[in-house]
Structure 1
Amino acid sequence: MGDSLGAVARHLGAPPPEALARLFERWDELVGPAMAAHTRPVSLVRGTLVVTVDQPGWAAQLGWLETDLLRRFADQLGADVVMSLVVRVHPG
């Protein structure tokens, strides 16, 4: 059953479960504590990571750092896990 669910998830664009777990568990380490305090990963489908931020300034900061963050994600999670970012402001 687990193998079947994994195959369906991959077909739908989900990353390997262990990579997804590392992304969520190590978010603070991956983006740094200051950014982690204002951001949250929401979903990861077909290589696109959706991140919510609590203020527009943090959305801009993520945009400026996108290339560096994508490189860090590739180094820590695997080359094809996170290939792009979508940032949404969600005050909260």
Structure 2
Amino acid sequence: MKRRRHGTTGREPRPIKDSLRAVTSGFGSRGRAIDLGERWVQAVGEAIAAHAQPERLEAGRLIIVVDDPAWATELRYHSSRILAALNAETGAAAISELHLRVRPRG
């Protein structure tokens, strides 16, 4: 088991690509990294992707930042379809929940 560097808690944000690689390494993906950028647009469509971006993955929960409450509602409406599309690559439910945060563009 690797020792953590002094001063880190292991809970620091990390790129979603790294998180997905770690999650999928034990599933049917045989360790392939998922290109979430492309998968994200395929899963939600270009209109939603212009207003909502995945931020990070925490214990199966994908944190998504949207720029307006209306887009959060749109993603909630399509959440089961989005989850299915994102998890299709792994053959398992690596992402079990979408968590939406509204952060207006500044």
Q: CA deviation at 1:29?
A: 2.0
Tell which structure's C-alpha radius of gyration is larger: 2
For 1:45 and 1:78, the matched residues in 2 are separated by: 19
Q: Identify the residue that residue 70 of structure 1 maps to in structure 2.
A: 83
Q: Identify the residue that residue 53 of structure 1 maps to in structure 2.
A: 66
TM normalised by structure 1 equals 0.74
Residue segments in structure 1 that go unaligned for 5+ positions in a row: 5-10
For 2:90 and 2:68, the matched residues in 1 are separated by: 27
1:29 maps to a residue whose letter is Q
Residue segments in structure 2 that go unaligned for 5+ positions in a row: 3-9, 12-18, 23-32
For 1:24 and 1:48, the matched residues in 2 are separated by: 17
Considering only aligned residues, what root-mean-square deviation do their CA atoms show, in Å? 2.3
Q: Is the 8 A contact 2:67 2:102 kept in 1?
A: yes
SS at match of 1:41: strand
Q: Identify the residue that residue 84 of structure 1 maps to in structure 2.
A: 97
Q: Give the % identical residues.
A: 34
Q: CA deviation at 1:73?
A: 1.1
Q: How many residues align?
A: 81
TM normalised by structure 2 equals 0.66
Q: Deviations over 1:27-64 (max 9, x none)?
A: 22221100000001000121110000000000001111
For 1:77 and 1:31, the matched residues in 2 are separated by: 18
Question: Which structure: greater helix fraction?
Answer: 1
2:47 matches 1:34: yes
